[in-house]
Structure 1
Amino acid sequence: MAHPSGAPAKQLARAAGLPLATTYHLLRTLAHEGYVTKLPDGCWVLGDRLEGLYARGRAQVTLSRVRPVLVSLRDELGVAVYFAVLREGEISLVDVVDGPRERRVDLWVGFNEAAHATAVGKCLLGQLDEDGRREYLARHPLLDLTPYTITDRGALDRGLAGRDGLSLDREEYALGTACVAVPVTDGSGGLVGALAVSCRTERLPRVRSEGRRLQEAAERLSRLAALS
């Protein structure tokens, strides 16, 4: 799908070269059959009858189920929200939502090349065993992205998660930006995922203090995966 995070009908009509009325008719037909779903923000995404956005073991979750959880967390905390998973040994960003107050981080370096410098990446690395982590980092060197980026393997291992269970990035990926992440699992080892939020660095203490809300949202995603 050319628009993995969904797209409004007008954008899909332009991309397909179809009249808007025809596009709406096709979307309604596909929605009736369960192949697409219209989200509250007006975007159309793949429905539950099509392939899940990620799969490891038997766990699958579609964007139509993920997006409402992310939107709710964004509205509660006023931050940009991200959901990513490990798929075939690489980090895949499933969805991201933001708003006028806190825009999403400009991903000038991909998550796989910057796992050591992002809360999302640290959270996912922390869910791997030692062999899995060593293999991943052998393929993705610890690039120096900002003056605060951790490039020492031992220091990285010690800082994958704090005592409160939160993985943090304090300007390690981009100056002026901080991120917080928590794990998302399906309860049976079939899913390795991370739910994260980003904010301006000065807001980090307040956002971190709301860690329980982030964990509750992660638990909602975990339940969706367990039921898939």
Structure 2
Amino acid sequence: MEAVGAHESGAPAKQLARETGLALATTYHLLRTMVHDGYVRKLDDGTFVLGEKLGALHGGSRDQAALSRIRPTLTELRDGLSAAAYLTFYEDGEIRVAEIVDGPKAPRVDLWVGFEDAGHATALGKCVLRELDGEARADYLSRHTLNDLTPRTITHRAELLRRLDAAFHGPAVTDVEEYALGTACIAVPVRQGDTIGALGISLRADRTAGLASAVTTLVTTAERVSRRLSLTI
């Protein structure tokens, strides 16, 4: 991409191969991949220029810098509670995992269904949904099926909304075997500027007695995470 970026009017693959010292076949393969991903664009004359998605790559670098600042805090949370720690954000209408910090003594839950399709069944997802305004919440639910992941999963919209409203005044949201049998989770809100997110942990279901005692630690850690994320904007 540096070689492509050095030619504002575009450069052919053979020239880029010479400048980078790469075999021509390798250069073509890399260019095809970057064109497909949107980082490079092929012009009608066969030359290549940087693509529009490069800005997203820079944005991703900034996001990684922000996460690197809070990763030690998440590690401290994991070690203090002997539980895997998770950070999610609501971005572009989806609930997405930004970071997971786990370890041999604190294994992560098996993410057998992506968080984007399981917001209704995870403490992290429900925490985000609880924080959304009515319009954003309705939009999310209109685009996502409340799939039955376990016998405990909430699959009726009215019941989900009732529980979200019931949890509105509490600091934390929980799920006990709603996403995966044998696993319980608890989450509290975080923010990166105007972006809503959730910080949570997962435990074996037989350790649910530890969920209530973890709330204070989670809330304190979430405040630290929100402050540090806001400083990086």
Tell me if both proteins adopt one fold, taking TM over 0.5 as the criterion: yes
Displacement of 1:53:
2.1
Contact 2:187 2:199 in 1 (8 A): yes
Question: For 2:214 and 2:91, how far apart are their aligned partners in 1?
Answer: 29
Displacement of 1:98:
1.1
Question: For 2:120 and 2:63, how far apart are their aligned partners in 1?
Answer: 24
Question: For 1:62 and 1:120, how far apart are their aligned partners in 2?
Answer: 20
- The alignment-based identity, stated in percent, is 49
Question: For 2:82 and 2:226, how far apart are their aligned partners in 1?
Answer: 22
Check 1:50–1:91 CA distance in 2 against 1; reply closer, same or farther (3 A cut): closer
Q: Deviations over 1:27-79 (max 9, x none)?
A: xxxxxxxxxxxxxxxxxxxxx9973228xxxxxx6221121111000010000
Match of 1:130 in 2: 134
* Amino acid in structure 2 at the alignment position of 1:105: V
Match of 2:48 in 1: none
* Amino acid in structure 2 at the alignment position of 1:129: D
Match of 1:4 in 2: none
Check 1:101–1:132 CA distance in 2 against 1; reply closer, same or farther (3 A cut): same
Match of 1:219 in 2: 223
* Amino acid in structure 1 at the alignment position of 2:174: L
Question: For 1:111 and 1:196, how far apart are their aligned partners in 2?
Answer: 13
- Give runs of aligned pairs for residues 37-186 of structure 1, distance below 5 A: 51-53=61-63, 62-160=66-164, 161=167, 164-186=170-192
Contact 2:122 2:179 in 1 (8 A): yes
SS of corresponding position for 2:189: strand
* Runs of 5+ unmatched residues, structure 1: 1-47, 55-60
Moved more, 61-70 or 145-154: 61-70
Moved more, 100-109 or 73-82: 100-109
Displacement of 1:197:
0.1
* Amino acid in structure 2 at the alignment position of 1:193: G
Displacement of 1:202:
1.4
Match of 2:46 in 1: none
Question: For 2:98 and 2:60, how far apart are their aligned partners in 1?
Answer: 15
Displacement of 1:156:
0.8
Question: For 1:91 and 1:111, how far apart are their aligned partners in 2?
Answer: 6
* Amino acid in structure 1 at the alignment position of 2:116: N
Contact 1:168 1:180 in 2 (8 A): yes
Question: For 2:63 and 2:96, how far apart are their aligned partners in 1?
Answer: 10
Check 1:50–1:86 CA distance in 2 against 1; reply closer, same or farther (3 A cut): closer
* Amino acid in structure 1 at the alignment position of 2:86: Y
Match of 2:37 in 1: none
SS of corresponding position for 1:210: helix
SS of corresponding position for 2:129: helix
* Amino acid in structure 1 at the alignment position of 2:62: G
Question: For 2:170 and 2:132, how far apart are their aligned partners in 1?
Answer: 19
Question: For 2:209 and 2:188, how far apart are their aligned partners in 1?
Answer: 16
Larger Rg: 2
* Runs of 5+ unmatched residues, structure 2: 1-57
Computed over aligned residues only, the root mean square deviation of the Cα atoms, in angstroms, reads: 2.0
Q: Deviations over 1:75-129 (max 9, x none)?
A: 1000000001111111221110112223101111110111000001001111111
